[in-house]
Amino acid sequence: MIKKVVIGSMNERKIKVGTGQTTSFLWEGENVFSTPSMIAEMEETCRLMLKEKFLQDEGWDSVGTLVNVRHLKATPVGAEVLLKAKVVEVNDRKVAFEVDAMDKIEKIGEGIHERTIINVPEFKERFNKKIRKLETL
């Protein structure tokens, strides 16, 4: 079942920063929660909101199309991070979110993320056509 996405809808989730989600170039060993990992967790928070609240049909999901995020503060491995997402704009199948990430001390990231709602079988068909076309080039 697909429901109309409602502006103001919110989602929160907590994660624990794990190894493999950090940079390793600042000093020896795993250390700081990386920007790409923080963004991936923000995106997943938005995707899960859409999937759980609005796109409960198995054939529908969403893909990220825009990220404009600032990473504000460093967070170590093992820290708990609270991720928040709020729907701020809906334009047909495009949904824009305000996203925030906070550890137990301070806000560590904020920004805007956009996702496009897709029909998975149709998306896969178009993607497979592109693969076949690329193979002929």
Per residue in 5-39, pLDDT (tens digit) is: 999 999 999 999 998 888 766 656 568 899 999 99
**Mean of all residue pLDDT scores within the chain:** 93
Q: Which fold has domain 10-136?
A: Thiol Ester Dehydrase; Chain A (3.10.129)
Q: Name the helix (H) or strand (E) containing 124.
A: helix 120-136
**Could you tell me which of 101, 10, 16, 2 has the C-alpha nearest to residue 49?**
10
Low-confidence ranges of the chain (pLDDT < 70): 1, 24-30
